C-alpha cells in the first residue's frame, strides 16, 4: 500500500467503521494488541510496525497496515 491508495478496514469495529479511506501518509508505530498480549502494556516487548494515516469523512485515523485491505490505487 502507498500514499493515494483507497483502503477499507478488514473488519468492522465501533471506532473504525468499514468505510473507504484515503491513505495520506505512512508511518511506523508500536501497537499493543490486548486480545493477544493481554491488558498489561509493556512497550519493550513490541517493535514498531507500518501504519497508514487515512482520511475518512474529514477525520484522520492511524491504522496498522495489517488491518487494512486495498480497494483501489491512487494516481
Burial of 51 (0-12, 13-18, 19+ CB in 10 A): buried
Phi then psi for residue 55, to 5 deg, are -110, 130
The DSSP code for 37 is: H
Write out pLDDT tens, residues 46-65.
999 999 999 988 999 999 99
Write out pLDDT tens, residues 25-46.
999 999 999 999 999 999 999 9
Strands in 49-56's sheet, in edge-to-edge order, are: 59-64, 49-56, 21-29, 6-9, 68-72
pLDDT computed for residue 18 by the predictor? 72
Read off the pLDDT band of 69 (50, 70, 90): very high
Model pTM greater than 0.75? yes
pLDDT computed for residue 10 by the predictor? 86
Give the start-to-end residue ranges of the domains of the chain: 6-72
Whether the pLDDT of residue 7 is over 90: the answer is yes
Amino acid at each position: 500500500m502507498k500514499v493515494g491508495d483507497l483502503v477499507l478496514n478488514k473488519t468492522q469495529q465501533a471506532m473504525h467503521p468499514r468505510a473507504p479511506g484515503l491513505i495520506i501518509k505512512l508511518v511506523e508505530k508500536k501497537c499493543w494488541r490486548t486480545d493477544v498480549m493481554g491488558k498489561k502494556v509493556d512497550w519493550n516487548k513490541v517493535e514498531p510496525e507500518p501504519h497508514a494515516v487515512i482520511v475518512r469523512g474529514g477525520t484522520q485515523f492511524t491504522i496498522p497496515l495489517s488491518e487494512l485491505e486495498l480497494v483501489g490505487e491512487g494516481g
